């Protein structure tokens, strides 16, 4: 398999890479601001095709998260199956080499594709070349970081490897390097230098994990908090990620006050403490609290259930029992012909000039001590040529609050207080 091929060809990499250097320690950051861009939809796809692709990506993403619970040594990640992810721009090495990676609160490992590529996926920029960097250092197998990922040892060097739910794989060296965020250079960051990569990784070079695990960017930089604000998918403006002292909720909120809810610990049955669980109590549409069974969002003994917030999943996924109640209420509010061409999505036929989009109340996610208000255009999608569709899908297991509902919302993860705060914002003005 890939491990055998990788081991046979590691001598090629070692002949190009600098000798392992003493690892440096990542300095605590006083505050970072990083640009976030959004991957664009291919123009050849219609709205409905893009919608179906987005649903499939979200469901496959959920399967990746589900599979990640099987082993504490697996590295979880979201891959670019199309549009729908947010990318951050940074640089790696000395001298600096630019990379663009998927921002992912549902994984921990930071990794990028590297030269010399035994097998690499297409990407928009040159592959990172460790042989030209004076700050690149492969970690020995004795490093504590090495035990945090699935790995093998070769000449006492840590080789990481992981597989994903869509058969995407990445393998290479676990190393330390200097990362640059804007003008801020941070040495000694542990990352994966992927030299054998298979599957799909369109328009990005790798992943930056923001999860709770030890190898994530927040865990390595040790900020007390981080925040992001996603611009809408139809906006050309740049979003931003803030870490440390720069992470705070701004004053430009369109409505309402700042809401704060505690984040729940991972269930005991989930050995890898990556995900940010939220204490969801129920969902309303307008003034109506929907009759969703309490069991729909309960965390079960086997680790399934509950709700996590994830920047790498586009559409929100809820338990089938909750989905059925939501659909019933939507059908009572929208008096348009139901499009029966899709049996897995709730879509309505809509023709501008003939039909007006219905006025619909806000959807509210009720968390412990906080209410997340979601206007119509963040839980429904509309296209003048194709239709009017619910941006929520059904899925067994853990529910996921996706990035579509998080748009134009300033969201702050307080890692010290173990809480999530949020407020409506104009993200292009932050």
At 5 the three-state DSSP class reads helix
Q: At 278, list the tokens.
A: 């939220």
206 Rama sector, left if φ>0, alpha if ψ -120 to 50, beta otherwise: left
d(CA 129, CA 316): 38
Angle at 79 between CA 7 and CA 315, to 5 degrees: 155
Cβ–Cβ under 8 Å, residues 78 and 87: no
Parallel, antiparallel or unpaired: strands 151-154 and 288-289: unpaired
- 414 is a catalytic site residue: no
Q: How many CB atoms sit inside 10 A of residue 48's CB?
A: 18
Cβ–Cβ under 8 Å, residues 188 and 175: no
Among 104, 233, 319, 424, which one carries the catalytic annotation? 104
Q: At 182, list the tokens.
A: 């804007």
Among 74, 310, 319, 424, which one carries the catalytic annotation? 310
Q: How many CB atoms sit inside 10 A of residue 360's CB?
A: 16
Q: At 344, list the tokens.
A: 């897995």
384 Rama sector, left if φ>0, alpha if ψ -120 to 50, beta otherwise: alpha
Cβ–Cβ under 8 Å, residues 99 and 206: yes
| Of 190, 162, 220, 216, the residue nearest 92 (C-alpha) | 190
DSSP assignment of 61-104 equals HHHHHHHGGG-TTPPP----SSS--EEEEEEETTTTEEEEEEEE
- 203 is a catalytic site residue: no
Q: How many CB atoms sit inside 10 A of residue 429's CB?
A: 10
d(CA 206, CA 193): 10
- What is the enclosing helix (H) or strand (E) of 175? strand 169-181
Cβ–Cβ under 8 Å, residues 346 and 329: no
Cis peptide bond upstream of 95, omega within 30: yes
C-alpha 342: how far from its chain's center? Answer: 27
Q: Which residues are catalytic?
A: 104, 310
């Amino acid at each position: 398999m890939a491990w055998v091929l990788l081991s046979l060809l590691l001598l090629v990499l070692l002949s190009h890479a600098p000798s392992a250097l003493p690892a440096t320690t990542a300095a605590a950051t006083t505050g970072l601001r990083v640009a976030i861009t959004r991957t664009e939809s291919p123009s050849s796809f219609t709205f409905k095709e893009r919608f179906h692709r987005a649903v499939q990506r979200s469901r496959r993403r959920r399967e990746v998260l589900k599979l990640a619970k099987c082993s504490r040594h697996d590295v979880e990640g979201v891959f670019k199956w199309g549009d729908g992810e947010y990318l951050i721009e940074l640089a790696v090495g000395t001298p600096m080499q630019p990379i663009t990676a998927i921002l992912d609160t549902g994984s921990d490992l930071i990794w990028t594709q590297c030269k010399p590529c035994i097998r690499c996926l297409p990407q928009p920029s040159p592959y990172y070349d460790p042989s030209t960097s004076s700050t690149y250092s492969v970690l020995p197998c004795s490093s504590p970081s090495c035990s945090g990922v699935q790995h093998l040892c070769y000449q006492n060097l840590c080789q990481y490897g992981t597989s994903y739910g869509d058969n995407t794989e990445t393998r290479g060296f676990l190393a330390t390097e200097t990362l640059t965020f804007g003008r801020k250079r941070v040495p000694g960051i542990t990352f994966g230098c992927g030299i054998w990569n298979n599957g799909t990784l369109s328009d990005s070079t790798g992943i930056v994990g923001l999860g709770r695990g030890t190898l994530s960017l927040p865990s390595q930089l040790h900020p007390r908090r981080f925040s992001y604000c996603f611009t809408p998918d139809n906006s050309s403006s740049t979003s931003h990620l803030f870490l440390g002292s720069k992470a705070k909720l701004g004053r430009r909120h369109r409505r309402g006050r700042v809401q704060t809810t505690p984040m729940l610990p991972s269930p005991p049955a989930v050995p890898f403490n990556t995900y940010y669980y939220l204490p969801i109590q129920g969902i309303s549409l307008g003034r109506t609290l929907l009759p969703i069974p309490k069991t729909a969002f309960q965390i079960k003994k086997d680790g399934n259930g509950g709700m996590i917030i994830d920047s790498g999943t586009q559409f929100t996924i809820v338990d089938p029992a909750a989905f059925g109640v939501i659909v019933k209420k939507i059908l009572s509010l929208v008096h348009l012909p139901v499009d029966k061409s899709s049996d897995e999505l709730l879509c309505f036929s809509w023709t501008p000039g003939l039909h007006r989009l219905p006025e619909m109340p806000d959807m509210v996610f009720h968390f412990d001590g906080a209410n997340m208000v979601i206007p119509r255009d963040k839980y429904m999608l509309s296209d003048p040529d194709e239709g009017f569709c619910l941006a929520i899908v059904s899925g067994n297991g853990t529910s996921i609050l996706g990035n579509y509902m998080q748009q134009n919302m300033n969201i702050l993860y307080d890692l010290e207080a173990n809480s999530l705060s949020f407020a409506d914002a104009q993200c292009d003005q932050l």
